[in-house]
Copies of this chain bind each other. A is one copy, B any other.
Amino acid sequence: MTGAAIVEIEALKSGRLITVDWGTSNFRSALLDDAGHVIDRIQAPRGILHLAAGEFPTALQELLAPWLPHLPAVPILMAGMVGSADGLFEVPYLPCPARLDDVADALVQIPNVDLDRPVFIVPGLRSQSTAGTHDVMRGEEIQILGAIDDDASEMQTFCLPGTHSKWVALDGRRVMHFSTSMTGDVFAALRNHTILSRFAREGEHNPEAFARGIALAEQPGGLLHHLFSARAEVLLGGLAADADAAYLSGILIGEEVRSMLEALNTQGPVTLIGDARLTELYAEALSAFGHDTRRIDGDQAAVAGLHYLASHAGLTTSGH
């Protein structure tokens, strides 16, 4: 856990909103002033998977202990899996198409947390995917809100790469539909729990091997076949074992990007939201398929989105 210790107590007192992005694996909080600037941060590897049903209120109080005594009545606004059935309080998904600004009207104040201040959770979104199946997100809608232009009016494609990557079709500030790819989750399972675990070991990123993997996405045979080459190319194809993880990453990201560009019929640039390392890999893949990209930091986008929502819903002035 980081934060608070190095920030002057006096500085904390200009805080007007506590934002929380509470996901499956991590807890990420920011204290914002009136203008939405970050005064301090608290982060911990205490995602909702690490907590049992009754432990959320206490965990929240513990995690935010460096701030709460100095910030009476400052509201808390949370997004992410904290609003799922496995989280603190289940908040129903809003159906797509959904205006991002509709999300502000659908904040839910949580009844079962007593922290001497209001605590809100942002609803997630649900959609029919490009394949006609159900799809869901919790938290990414906030990052999109923090990244999109106030006056956006054209059709745009956003991609939020990760364990479960989201590809989002927007018409202006309206989320038309989205589709999830399990790319990061599958990558980890393949590397650790299949025959590829003997080959795809940890190594430096290898741009050449990554590009070779990306290129496979345009070859016939399908992903389940392409994956096997991450074994056979090391055995017989002159691919170095320490390049195999990058090759496998290229195969998976290439498949995701090619399939999604095709399914969404994306013509122009793609906006990537996420951490620097992942968005760089996706930018390489998109470039290989002829698409320009705009890259936006995921943490900054989450904070900006939550601040926008709080302002829009009139939360930041409550209690002051």
Q: Which of A15-23, A38-46, A98-106, A128-136 contacts B (4 or more CB under 8 A)?
A: A128-136
Contact A129/B224 with A186-B190, A188-B193, A194-B189 known, Cβ cut-off 8 Å: no
A225 touches B129 (CB 8 A): yes
Question: How long is the Cα–Cα vector from A222 to B93 in the complex, in angstroms?
Answer: 25
Residue of B nearest to A86 (CB): B198
| Chain B residues, Cβ within 8 Å of A223 | 222-224, 255, 259
Judged by DSSP, the binding face of A is helix
Question: How long is the Cα–Cα vector from A44 to B126 in the complex, in angstroms?
Answer: 49
Choose among B182, B192, B193, B255 the residue that contacts A228 (Cβ–Cβ < 8 A). B182
Choose among B133, B193, B195 the residue that contacts A233 (Cβ–Cβ < 8 A). B133
Tell whether A174 is near chain B: CB-to-CB under 8 Å: no
Count chain B CB atoms within 10 A of each CB in A182, A228, A229, A233 and give the residue with the most: A228
Choose among B130, B186, B237 the residue that contacts A224 (Cβ–Cβ < 8 A). B186
Q: How many copies does the complex hold?
A: 2
Q: Which of A109-117, A213-221, A289-297 contacts B (4 or more CB under 8 A)?
A: A213-221
Tell whether A179 is near chain B: CB-to-CB under 8 Å: yes
Residues of chain A from 146 to 195 with CB closer than 8 A to chain B in the complex: 164-165, 179-183, 185-186, 188-190, 192-195
| Chain B residues, Cβ within 8 Å of A255 | 222-224
| Chain B residues, Cβ within 8 Å of A130 | 219-221, 225
| Chain B residues, Cβ within 8 Å of A192 | 193
9 new A-B contacts at CB < 8 Å, known A129-B229, A130-B220: A133-B219, A136-B232, A186-B186, A186-B227, A189-B193, A220-B263, A221-B260, A222-B258, A225-B260
